[in-house]
């Protein structure tokens, strides 16, 4: 099995007139020749109407689109189009907002109108632009950024340092391939786990001899984030530790067993992570509780000048105590716990 995996190639373009796919395909071919598997190709643009026009076209089949940060008014005006789109993600920046029921209402409207779109939406605070990871990805400059699935590179590693060496070699290889490309923005070295086995961060933690519980009060996660921030030769975007509750299937198991509470998620995010990600929410959860969490994350983000986001996901049916049925290959079904 190939452990050299590119999670995403994302092209950021302000004006989407003309063909973007040719350039993305050329980037992908160079990476494939170097032995990388490509998971997703993405396009991020502030031109929302142009994204709507491209979404669903045959020559853009399989592409994921990101509109980046939309205002509350833009979300309101385009809400029907957003919830009926094929693959358009977006976020709402609450860094300086006085958080209210109107903000939480967007999440609960998504849950009631088209719950699958909760996967495509997040609240962001002090967001770092040009990340190729959606829904946080937001446009700043034209060009492309690359994000890996770096947990897979930990296969056969018996220590963090062995894994770090493989990460650094991979970054340097990608830089060598694209260093002369004027539109290459850089690498988002975020640790983005997925599924189980080598793709799971929790699997790596256990292979290093830790239980998940004990690892949360060790310096393992700080070691990871320090390395990816200080050793990436061309950083762009978030460059942090992602803790996607339901995308890392072994983390989802920790959640079901009560070992990944929202408090523990926020604690890990504060010193090492990027926020609350694909965290399950029941359709009967109290909106005031969501508001409390958003206010806390906002204040922590502003206090420490740290990029954080919040992405809750719902299947539109499951209540607290019930089993989810996401019908989404990237999300593990779990019994929902109260926030």
pLDDT digits (tens, 9 = 90+) for 63-91: 999 999 999 999 999 999 999 999 999 99
Q: pLDDT digit string (tens) for 180-197?
A: 999 999 999 999 999 998
Q: What percent of the chain has pLDDT over 90?
A: 93
Q: Stretch 44-66: mean pLDDT, rounded?
A: 93
Write the Ramachandran bin of 41: left for phi over 0, alpha for psi from -120 to 50, otherwise beta.
Answer: beta
Q: Stretch 243-265: mean pLDDT, rounded?
A: 98
The b-or-e profile of 311-324 (16+ CB within 10 A means b, else e) is bbbbbbebebeeeb
> Are the beta carbons of 90 and 67 closer than 8 angstroms?
yes
The b-or-e profile of 177-197 (16+ CB within 10 A means b, else e) is bbeeeeebbbbbbbbbbbbbe
CATH class, range 5-313: alpha beta
pLDDT of residue 18: 78
pLDDT of residue 253: 98
Confidence check: pLDDT of 52 > 80: yes
Q: Stretch 293-314: mean pLDDT, rounded?
A: 98
Q: Stretch 39-58: mean pLDDT, rounded?
A: 94
Question: Is the peptide bond preceding residue 326 cis, with omega within 30 degrees of 0?
Answer: no
pLDDT band at 281 (very low <50, low <70, confident <90, very high): very high
From the number of C-beta atoms within 10 Å of its C-beta (0-12, 13-18, 19+), residue 168 rates as: middle
Q: Stretch 292-318: mean pLDDT, rounded?
A: 98
pLDDT of residue 61: 87
Tokens of 100: 């209210």
Task: Using CA atoms of 117, 252, 209, 3 in order, give the dihedral in degrees to the nearest 10.
Answer: -40
pLDDT of residue 156: 86
pLDDT of residue 1: 56
pLDDT band at 59 (very low <50, low <70, confident <90, very high): confident
> Are the beta carbons of 245 and 252 closer than 8 angstroms?
yes
| Overall pTM surpassing 0.85 (yes/no) | yes
Average confidence score pLDDT of the chain: 96
Confidence check: pLDDT of 106 > 80: yes
Confidence check: pLDDT of 135 > 70: yes
pLDDT band at 56 (very low <50, low <70, confident <90, very high): confident
């Amino acid at each position: 099995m190939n452990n050299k995996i590119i999670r995403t190639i994302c092209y950021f373009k302000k004006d989407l007139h003309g063909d973007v796919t040719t350039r993305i395909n050329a980037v992908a071919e160079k990476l494939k020749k170097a032995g990388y598997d490509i998971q997703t190709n993405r396009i991020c643009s502030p031109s929302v109407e142009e994204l709507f026009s491209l979404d669903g076209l045959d020559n853009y089949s399989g592409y994921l689109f990101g509109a980046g940060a939309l205002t509350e008014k833009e979300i309101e005006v385009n809400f029907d189009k957003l919830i009926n789109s094929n693959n358009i993600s977006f976020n709402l920046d609450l860094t300086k907002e006085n958080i209210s029921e109107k903000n939480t209402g967007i999440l609960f409207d998504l849950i009631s109108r088209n719950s699958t779109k909760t996967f495509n939406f997040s609240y962001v605070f002090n967001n770092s632009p040009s990340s190729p990871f959606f829904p946080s990805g937001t446009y700043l400059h034209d060009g492309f950024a690359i994000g890996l699935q770096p947990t897979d590179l930990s296969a056969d590693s018996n220590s963090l340092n062995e894994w770090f060496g493989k990460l650094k070699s991979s970054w340097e290889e990608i830089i060598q391939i694209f260093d002369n490309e004027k539109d290459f923005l850089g690498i988002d070295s975020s640790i983005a786990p997925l599924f189980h086995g080598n793709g799971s961060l929790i699997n790596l933690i256990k292979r290093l001899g830790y239980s998940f519980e004990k690892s949360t009060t060790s310096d393992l996660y700080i070691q990871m984030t320090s390395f990816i921030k200080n050793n990436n030769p061309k950083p762009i975007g978030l460059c942090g530790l992602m803790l996607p509750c339901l995308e890392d299937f072994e983390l989802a198991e920790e959640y079901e067993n009560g070992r990944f509470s929202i408090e523990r998620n926020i604690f890990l995010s504060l010193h090492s992570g990027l926020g609350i990600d694909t965290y399950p929410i029941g359709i009967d959860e109290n909106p005031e509780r969501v508001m409390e969490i958003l206010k806390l994350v906002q204040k922590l983000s502003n206090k420490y000048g740290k990029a954080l986001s919040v992405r809750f996901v719902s299947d539109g049916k499951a209540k607290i105590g019930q089993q989810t049925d996401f019908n989404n290959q990237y999300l593990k079904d779990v019994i929902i716990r109260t926030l």
